[in-house]
Structure 1
Amino acid sequence: GTAGEDGQFKVTIDLQKAGTKLEVVATDNAGNESETTTLFVKDATAPEKPLVNEVTDKDTSVTGHAEAESKVEVKIKGSVIGTESAGEDGQYQVIIDAQKAGTELVIVATDNSGNASDETPVVVKDVTAPEKPEVSTVSDKDTNITGLAEAGSKIEVKVNGVVIGTGKAEQDRKYQVTIRVQKAGTVLTVIAIDTAENESESVTIKVIDKTAPSFLTVNTVSDKSKEVTGKTEAGATVSVLIGTKIYPAKFDTSGNFKVIIPVQKAGTKVIVTAKDAAGNSVAKTITVIDKTAPVVPSVTTVTDLIKVVTGKAEAGAIVTVTIGTKKYIVKADIKGNYQVTIPVQKAGTKLLVTAKDAAGNISAAKSVIVIDKTAPLAPKIKTAVKSTTKEVSGTAEAYSTITIKVGKKVIGTAKADSKGKFKVKIKAQKKKTVLSVTATDRAKNVSKVVTVKVK
């Protein structure tokens, strides 16, 4: 180039690399050259912004690539937390303290001429798994699982690897996951997954049994039973409480049980309890029923003259008098006394008397025969009795015994036949002797006296 009148000059050249040696010579119009001035090309170009590898919340260094031998600085909000020089190959490693996930780091490369690159930002990546969640007890009645986990984390509940419910931990770390009711003994696996998809260690919890045995059936127990039987959940333990006494059960794998007990009175309360392995129990109270028939009622004499049957039976029992096809019923009083009104019955009639208690048990029947208390009609004498008569005949009640007396002395007897005819042999009596004739039936009832005067 040519210098101006003021000596200023400008020479256009190609761009040269920083550090290139330049020689400048001035030549006047006579061709005389000045001394040579040596210049070096100054570095005024900023390095390219550095490349940065992924930084996690577990890393204690930042690595990447920058301009060879440049100074690499790592900053947080303008504050330098680490410095290191890049190697001749441009690789660098800056030692830092591990930073929280989400922290923004800024990396700058500065060359030896003090030119600083543009900043390269990088956010610290979360690669730290959440702590394993805390899980509250879960029973076979629960429809929710609760506990504590990392705030904001997603909670998954699995059974055999299959997710059965999800939820989210709130800022207070509390979570609640809705699930279907699970069977006792089911193993649940619970994990927490943070927003960076890091999974916690799993927590396993077994569903506990809070459900009482699903059923308990007890067969009827009577005042004649020596055992209590029934069926309940397989594996449950059965016991019977009577008063203060406890009787254990024998049972099979199907849940059938049998408990040996002493014979109990009707009305006794029996409490049967079935308890599963987890201690849940169900109880049933049964009342011993009356299966014992009342004792046979007593019956006072029944004659062919009375209209009331009386006697004693179990207190409060229903007393039935059966005569042929007819039944006559009354209730015994609190002392067991009873009175049953019946029509007057013929001698020889058979009565059956039973007592039925409140439980419907009927006693054996008491058989009673109506006895004869009716005197026969007075016999009729057909013989004209003379001082020579040695046989007196007539009619009376069939089969009755005819007795002839003189005063208190019996002078002859005979038995009437089935038609009532009789003949009584006597010794001949003096004239005007008075004979007293009676008929005595088989029940020993004596008729009125018939008198006959010997002619």
Structure 2
Amino acid sequence: MKKGVILGATSILLASQIVTTIMPLAAKAEEKLVPNTEESVQSNAQVELPVPALPDQQIESTTEEKQEEASTSDAKEETVPEAEAKVETRASVTAEQTSEAVTATSEATVSTWAQLQTALMDNNVTDISLAADITLGATTIPTGLNKTIHGNGHTINANFNQIKLGAAGAVGKMENVKLTNTDIYGLFWSDAKNVTVTYKDVDHSGRQMIYLPYGELILDGKVSSYVTVEEIFQGNKMTVLPGATVDFESTPASRALSPVLLMSTDSRLTVGKDAHLNIVSNAANIWGPANSSLVNNGHMNLESKRNQAINLSTGSTMQFNTGSTFKAISGDTVEEAVEATSGSIIVNSGATFEVESNGVQGSIITGNQLVFANGSSFSITNHNRSGAVFGSYAKPTNVTIESAEGVQTWNRGVLISQQPSFNYSGPLSANFNIDGYLSGVTQTGLTSNNASFQNTFRTGNTGKIVGGSFAKVEIGSTTIDELTTESTTVTGTGEPNARVEIKANGTVIGSGTINSEGKYSVAIPKQAANTVVTAQATLQNLTSNVASTTVRDATATAGTITPNAHTVGDSHITGEYTGDVTSARLFVNGVSTRGGTFNPDGTFSFFVTPGSIKVGDKVEIVALDKNGRELDRKNIDVISNLSGNIMPSSYTTGSSTITGEFTGDINFARLFVNGKHVSWGGTFNPDGTFSYYVTPGTIKAGDKVTIQGLHRDAAGNTEILDEQQVQIAMQGSITPDTYTLGTSNITGKFTGDVNFARLFVNGQHVSWGGTFNPDGTFSYFVNPSLIKSGDTVRIQGLHRDAAGNTEILDDKTVQIAGLKGTLTPSAYTLGTSNITGKFTGDINFGRLFINDQPVSWGGTFNPDGTFSFYVNSSLIKSGDKVEIQGLHRTANGDTEILAKEKVEIAGFAGTIAPNAYTPGSSAITGSYTGDVNFARLVINGVPTDRWGGTFTNGTFSFFVTPGFIKSGDKVEIQAMHRTSTGDTKILDTKVVKINLQGTVSADPYTLGQATITGTFTGDVNFGRLYINGEHALWGGTFNPDGTFSFYVGRDLIKAGDVVKLEVIHRVSASDLTVLDSQEIEIK
């Protein structure tokens, strides 16, 4: 149909490694995103100029008669497509992109879009409860296997976004929720395999309810859907659970945009026991591919105003089971109403099956079997004069008809006749084959247990056929008028066009035909008194009841009396009479009086004492002949001589009195609300006005209220003199809150009977609806892009009744709040990728200037009043003038600057503390603080080409080649901050202390010898001699070959002295480091 290909990619990678998301196109996608030539929209971050244009987005065009049209428009500066109207939203959201945390639990209660989005993306959350109405801010693709949304009576405004179940085998459910503004994919749709979605107690409106090409939709409770663009359900399987009620209505006219469109081979539609599936559409109600199946165990009611009701393709089957009912009406003037191409339709025992079509093709078309089992009830009607009841396509079909009640048929073109063309008595069974789908259909092999059916039934001639409970089992009732011994004609009524037979004591004495008006007149010979004469009608194989009368002696008296109603206080009872009446007897509550004057003109009068007959008395008059024999008896209605009218004024709901005027004898009243008596009383004033107390709240808008005007006597007896309906004057007010531009709801309060609203912008009616809560508050959804600064906005408070009639009760102007806000950016650190800070008010967007030039716009503005604005870390340099603007941006991209602030660039600071270095090792290590992230080595005052280092968590390591630093070198390390552009700044310089080492091995000393000799290692370059603990000499010669000599003279050391030699690394007289010492052996 459409939707075969959805953009698989949800993001592209730009050269700057910034992710920009792409939204899957909806039908008639509002616009492509074309980046501005000067600035770029922030999606996950700002990107530098220029930015390559995004690729065109496409969807697969629909089949049949329609193609989705994707319109494009040039994006103006700083605007985004309508589908991305909300700032910082994404077309497709992954779990890593959600920003609001939900505790890791299986349940979550949400009241905002951000919370709902987070819960949807958290695979640990399986049950989501709505605590408020929510408008979707983006298309979201949960990857979890189980998601249930409990709506709790709230509304999800899809805002033409989607919740797409991304995982194969996922199970989704929505219950007790109202869904609005869905796009052509719906909510909880999926193109993954084996996805199951359940809708329970869901009220939906939008472009399509759901798209499940490889999944199953289960409907439970009460589900309704009103769709204006495409299908309602489009998918593989749809199941209506037992007891559910489903109401589908769609407006698209294209034949193939069926409310129920089965997509895959072997698709299935199942309606459970006691379930109701009602579909009204212009398109075909149900459309299915090859090998589809329909199983009805409940009640289906289908009406297509322009096309077929059901069309299932090759090899499909429909089965209607015991207890099910089915009614389909097709408005197509060419096609059938119900078709199973090369397939079968089976109507089982106990099923009721009705089809009406208006096309030249057969009402029902099959290509294998059409079965009406014994015990089923069926009625098939083709209103087209050229159309038959049955047809076949694309193969011949076998038809089986069984009906214990018989079958009735009407020829094509005579359906306006109430009488069938043929009545075939039951029990009837028949079987035959047909080939073709027009009135020239070929019928062969007819066999039937009813000879008349076998001889006369022709499929191509038949425009209507009924069986089971629809078959008429008896004709109209027959009556016979009174006869006397002088009668020679019998008259009466009966079934039009039927043959009527008159019998006397069982013998036929006359016959004739009842005329088209249902009357007959048959000549007979005179009959003796007390003879029983009967009349019975016969039409084809059907016979009527037997009507009878007994012949009366013509000489016997007869007559009737017809009294007028008697008014209390009158002196006569009057009326009319016929025949042989000469007097009368009057009974009043069982007491009789004989009398009366019977005039030749057929009138009579009977004197009564005025006032002797009262309202409520039982009064009867008996007509007598001259011999006093009773000829007739009638009751007399007694009416009051009291009179009066009551004229209630309109009642205002919530008030405590019904007022109005009255006339005559009314002095009391009684009140009824919706047919129930609620109170009586009232004050009736001499000036003809009245008031009647009613408890406020007793009468509500829409109630039917009547008041009776009565007369009440001293004994408490009452008489109704008048009754009038009280018109209800509804009242109410609406008080809207100040509206903030860019938001999606107008809120406020209301009173009285207001339950509906209508919105006007600049005098133009734009929408109607609203949610009116029991606590007197209301909310009214409005597209955030609809209202702009300077617009004149009005909202009308209305009362809307069940029939959809509305009455305006109030009309108020909606004030538009002025936008305001402040921006406080934190100092920016060079080389970082975000400007952060705080904001207030209506700011929801940012724009960055460097040296007075705009560079990017976007930003993330959080509910806690903090913001972050991405900036390329190399973009801002020391000395730059940086400014950030705080804006309010509406859904249609309009912006208003609310604040401008300078961004201070923070100075760098830091220290370094190197550890002592051991010559020969490969690293200088130590600690650092602040912004140090780079270092350089200085040896003996000369900067080297050695720079770099690893700086992590306050410690550093700086590589040096072993041997590069030598003994005696003065080593310094410079601590720097280096930006992403390579700029550096020296923050600190420290001397690196060298770890010295060395040993000494002196030869034995021989008394009188002038020098001490031996060997040494390491950094030894000086010696110091101690004799008996006293410092004696210092100096020595330490040769490169590791030998040394230390002059002592020949007589300094004597026998018995304790001599020790210290070896030292000497830098200066004040910089000495002792490395080793040894006591000298003396010989």
TM-score interval for Structure 1 and Structure 2 normalised by the shorter chain = 0.3 to 0.5
1 or 2 for the larger relative contact order (CA 8 Å, sep ≥6)?
Answer: 1
TM-score, normalised via structure 2 length: 0.18
Q: Which protein has the larger Cα radius of gyration, Structure 1 or Structure 2?
A: 1
Instruction: Select the structure that is richer in strand.
Output: 2
Q: Normalising by structure 1, what TM-score?
A: 0.37
